[in-house]
Structure 1
Amino acid sequence: MLDEVVRLPVSKYTDEGLLEQEIASAFSQYPLIAGHASTLAEPGAYLTSDWDQFPYFVVRGEDGRVRAFYNQCRHRGARIAEAPAGTVKNFVCPFHGWVYGLDGALKGITRAHDFPGVNPCDYGLVELPATEAGGLIWVGRTPGAELDIPGFLGTFFEDLVNFDVASLIQYKKTKVVKEANWKLLIKTYLEGYHVPYLHRETLAAAFKRGVIAHDSDGPHIRLSAARTNIGECALKPEEEWRILDYASVYYTLFPNTFFILHPDYVSINTFWPLSPDRTIWTHEMLYRAEDFAGSAGQSSLEKRFRFTNDTVFDQEDFAIAEDVQRHLLHGGSDHHVLGLAEGLLSIFQNNIDERLAGPGETAGTSSTTRTTTGQHS
C-alpha cells in the first residue's frame, strides 16, 4: 500500500497534548456524522450528541428541514434535549421551563415579568450548521458556517447515493466506552493481516486471507475486502457484477467514522475521544425492511447484530485494542512497526497528523518514520 515499512511512535496513542490538538483540528474543523437520517423521519424527531465535548441536538422542523443547536438553554445553560433520541412538539427546559420551538426560537419564558427588557427574539437557541446528505445527518461546530458534504466526501459521496444509503432504516444503536485510544480502535479495521488469526473462528472462513484493495479521496479511505467466493464473478458478464456479492466495502469518513457496507446490512461506527486511553464507541446498524420481514427476519437481524457487534467488534477487534493500550506505557518498545499489508494504518495516521495545527506548529507535521522497501504487487 505504501511500499514501505513504517515505524509509528506509541505516543500517538498516549499523549494528552496530541489528543487536544486532534480535538481542536480534526474534531472541530470538519463535518461530523450525527447519525442516519431515518432517526429523524418526522417533524419533531430529534437526536442528541454522543459526546459531551460537543453538546448539540439535531431536529427535523415542521418545514422538513434538519437543524442543529447547542443543547443548552439560553437562560442558565441546562440541557434541554435529554434523551438520545425522541419526538417532541417543543423543547422545554427542565430547569425553569423555558420553551423553544423546533426552529430554535424562544417561545415562552416562565414568569416573564421577572425578565423586564429581555426580548425572546434575542434568546433563541444557538444554531449550528447541519445538513442531510447521502442518507446521513451531518453537523459542524462553527455557527454560521455552511456544510458542503458532496465537496467534503468527493467521489465517495456518489457511493452513498449509488448504494442508496438514504433508503435504509435504523435497527439498533449501541454506545459504550472502550479503554483504548480512538485511533487505535479505528485501525483494527484498516488491515486484513489479522483476519486469519484474530478472527480465525468468525470471519476467516468468509474472507480470502484478509485480501483488500483501497483508494483515497482527500482524507477519506475506501477499502474492499474480498470474500471467499470472489472468483465466481468471473463466471458472469461484467455488467452483472454486484460488488457486495463478492466483497464488503469499508470507508473511513474523516475524522472518526468507520462505515461498513455488507451485502444485507450497514454498520456505522463512530469514535469520540474522552482521553488518550478512553473512547466512546457507537455502533448504528441499518437495514432494508424488505430484506428482514416479519418476526423471522427480525430474529435473523438480531443474530447478525450480536455476531457483528458483540463478537467480532467487541470481543475480538476492540478487546485486542484494549489489551494493546494497557501495555503501551509499560512495554519494551516506543514504536509499532507496520508491514506492507498495514499501510492504511499509516495513511490514516498521516491524514490526522497533516491536519494538526497547534501552537508553534504548522499543518503537515508528522513524526512517522518510514523504511523504504521495493515495489510490490
Structure 2
Amino acid sequence: MDQATQTAWLARTLKHIEGGTTDQGEAVTRIAVQRYTDPAFLARERDTVFRNHPIAVSFSSRLAKPGDFVTHDHLGLPLLLLRGRDGQVHAYLNVCRHRGARLVTAREGCGRHRFTCPYHAWTYDDAGTLLSLPHEAGFGDLDKGQHGLVRLPAAEAFGVVFVLPRQDGDLDLDKALGPLKRDMESFGLSDHLVYDEREIGLRCNWKVVIEGGLETYHVRHAHGRTIAPMFLDNISVMERFDPHARLYFTKREAAKLKTQALDGLRVRDFGNPLYFFFPNLIVLVQPDHATVMITFPQGTDACMIQGAALIPEPALTEKARAHWDKNVKIFWDALDEDFQMGQSIQAGFRSGANSHITFGRFEHPCGWFHAALDKAMTPGAMA
C-alpha cells in the first residue's frame, strides 16, 4: 500500500474515531436464505465462479525449490502443484492419461522430477511430458506427445499460488487482482514462509465464512473473549475493487492518531488491513506478518478452510517459535469463534425461521460479495 493511501486511510479512521462513525453503504441489503441451502445454486457457483476465476490453492514457500510438490483436492478437481526445473510453479490435473488413476497419492514431497502412476507405471516429468510406459509396443502408434498431463494455468503473487481451473484459460494476475495485487506485494509477503498451515472442515455454507471477514459489526460480541479488547467497536474503512474489497479493522492504538502527524505512519501499526480476493481468499495483514484463509465449498452445508500464517523468516529458535505460536493462536482462536457461529447460522437457515437475511449499511461489503457472485454467475461472464 503506497504511503499516500496509508495516510488517507488513517485520516478517514481518525475522523470516524472522533465522530463515532464508520464507513457505510447507501442501503440495507437482503439476501435469500435459499442461496445457502439450494444444491442447484451451489452447482452454479462451482461451475462458474470456481472455474472461471483464479483460485488460491497453496503457498509459494510450500514449493520453494525445483522438485517440491503438493497435491490439492478441495476444488473438486485433483490437482498436482509443483516447482519445475525452470523455477516456475506448474499445475496439472493429478490424473494419469492412461486409465485415469490418481498419479500422485502423497500430499507433498520434495526433490521429485518424475512421477510414476501406481497403476501401470506410466511416467511423466515435471513439465507434464509422458516419458515412458511399460510394454509400449502394445499401444501401437500411441503419440506420447498427445498424452502428457493436463496443464492448468498457474501463477504466484504475494506468497500465494493461484490456479485457473480451466484448461483453455489464461491467467493474468495483474488483471485479475487489479491494484490490490500491488498493495499486497508492497507488504513484502512474496518471500514470507508458511507457518502452522491447517485444514478445517465446517458444517456451513462457504459464503457464511467469507461474510464473517467482511464486516466489523460482530467483533465486539462474537469475539468478546479473544480479540475484541484489541479493537474499537464497529469502526472501519471499507473500499470496493469489484469483485474484490479492502477493509480496515481498527485497533485501540488508533486513538493515538489524535496526537500524531499522519504522514509516514503505517496502517498495519494501528489496525489490520484485510484484503478479500474474490471469490474465496482473505488475507489479514498484521504488524509483522500476515494470516491467510481460503474457503472451499464442499456442499450446501459444508466447506473446507485452508489457512496459515505467512512469516518473514524461518522460526529457528524456541523464542521465535513461541512468538509465532502466540500470534497464530490468537488468529485461530478468533476464527474458531467465527466458525462456531457460522455452523450455528447454517443450522438457523435450515430451521425455516428466515426467508432472507439482512446486511446493515455498515455490513455493505457482504452485499458487494453477493453482487459479485451474481455477476460471475451470469451466462457468459468471465474473470
TM-score, with structure 1 as normaliser:
0.90
User: Which residue does the alignment assign to 1:141?
Assistant: 165
For the 8 Å contact 2:282–2:293, the answer to whether it is kept is yes
2:95 alignment partner AA: Q
Aligned-pair CA distance for 1:144: 4.0
Identity of counterpart residues, as a percentage?
A: 28
Whether the 8 Å CA contact 2:84–2:113 is kept in 1: the answer is no
Q: Structure 1: any 5+ residue segments left out of the alignment?
A: 364-377
Q: Residue type matched to 1:116 in 2?
A: G
Query: Which residue pairs with 1:312 in the alignment?
Result: 334
Aligned to 1:26: 49
Structure with the higher helix share, 1 or 2? 2
CA RMSD of aligned residues (A): 1.8
| Partner amino acid, structure 1, of 2:211 | K
Alpha-carbon distance in structure 1 between the residues aligned to 2:240 and 2:28: 20
1:324 paired residue among 330, 338, 345: 345
CA offsets 1:93-122 (integer angstroms, 9 cap, x no match) = 111211110100011102323322223222
Secondary structure in 2 aligned to 1:354?
Answer: helix
Task: Name the SS of the counterpart of 2:254 in structure 1.
Answer: helix
1:295 is aligned to 318
Secondary structure of the residue aligned to 2:61 is helix
The alignment partner of 2:165 has SS state of: coil
SS at match of 1:38: helix
Which residue does 2:19 correspond to in 1? Answer: none
Separation in 2 of the partners of 1:155 and 1:116? 53
Please name the residue that 1:375 is paired with. none
Name 1:333's counterpart in structure 2. 354
Indicate conservation of the 8 Å contact 2:117/2:123, yes or no: yes
Following TM superposition, by how much is the alpha carbon of 1:234 offset from its aligned partner in structure 2, in angstroms? 4.3
Residue identity matched to 1:312: A
- Counterpart amino acid of 1:350? A
Correspondent of 2:123 among 96, 99, 123: 99
> Could you say which residue in structure 1 is the equivalent of 2:11?
none
Aligned match of 1:343: 364
Matched, 1:252 2:273: no
CA–CA distance in structure 1, aligned partners of residues 96 and 245 of structure 2: 38
Which of 215, 220, 229 is residue 244 of structure 2 equivalent to? 220
For the Cα contact (< 8 Å) 2:71–2:106, is it kept in 1?
Answer: yes
Which deviations, in whole Å up to 9, do the C-alpha atoms of 1:311-368 show, x marking residues without a partner? 2112x1010110110121214221112222211111111111122135xxx86xxxxx
**2:71 is aligned with 1:48:** yes
- Contact 1:4–1:339 (CA<8 Å) still a contact in 2? yes
Confirm or deny that 1:278 pairs with 2:302.
yes
Check conservation: 1:106, 1:125, Cα contact below 8 A. yes
- Secondary structure at the residue paired with 2:304? strand
* Alpha-carbon distance in structure 1 between the residues aligned to 2:233 and 2:172: 38
Partner of 1:152: 176
Matched, 1:354 2:378: no
Partner residue in 1 for 2:254: 230
Check whether the contact 2:103–2:116 (CA below 8 A) recurs between aligned residues: yes
Q: After superposition, give the CA deviation of every residue in 1:56-100 in whole Å (9 maximum; x if it has no partner).
A: 212111111221111100011111122332211311111121111
- Cα 1:305–1:50, aligned 2, differ >3 Å: closer, same or farther? farther
SS of the equivalent of 2:120 reads: coil
Task: Tell me the SS of whatever aligns to 1:343.
Answer: helix
In 2, the alpha carbon distance for the partners of 1:82 and 1:260 equals 32
The answer as to whether partners of 2:55 and 2:163 remain within 8 angstroms in 1 is: yes
Match of residue 143, structure 2, among 107, 112, 119? 119
Cα distance between partner residues in 2 of 1:151 and 1:23: 22
Using the TM superposition, give the Cα deviation of residue 304 of structure 1 relative to its aligned residue in structure 2, in angstroms: 2.3
Counterpart contact for 2:281–2:292, Cα < 8 Å: yes
Q: Work out the number of aligned pairs and report it.
A: 358
Structure 2 counterpart of 1:8: 31
The residue that corresponds to 2:89 in the other structure is: 66
The 5-angstrom pairing of residues 125-204 of structure 1 reads: 125-204=149-228
- Separation in 2 of the partners of 1:179 and 1:52? 17
Q: Counterpart in 1 of 2:20?
A: none
SS in 2 for 1:244: helix
CA drift of 1:159 comes to: 0.9
2:350 aligned partner, one-letter code: L
Q: Distance in 2 between matches of 1:117 and 1:97?
A: 19
State whether residues 50 and 75 of structure 2, in contact with CA within 8 Å, keep that contact through their aligned partners in structure 1. Answer: no
Q: Verify: 1:38 aligned to 2:61, yes or no.
A: yes
Tell me if structure 2 keeps the 8 A contact 1:56–1:71.
yes
Letter in 2 for 1:332: A
Give the gaps of 5 or more residues in structure 2.
Answer: 1-23
Alignment partners' CA distance in 1, 2:355 and 2:59: 39
Give the partner amino acid of 2:335.
F
Q: Alignment partner of 1:240: what SS? A: coil
Q: Distance in 1 between matches of 2:73 and 2:139?
A: 34
Cα drift, residue 273 of structure 1: 0.8
TM-score under structure 2 length normalisation: 0.89
C-alpha displacement at 1:302, in angstroms?
A: 1.9
Measure the CA separation in 1 of the matches of 2:306 and 2:167.
25
Q: 1:212 corresponds to which letter in structure 2?
A: S
Query: Take 1:48 and 1:210, find their aligned partners in 2: how far apart are those partners?
Result: 40
Mapped partners of 2:334, 2:118: distance in 1: 40
The amino acid that maps onto 1:6 is T
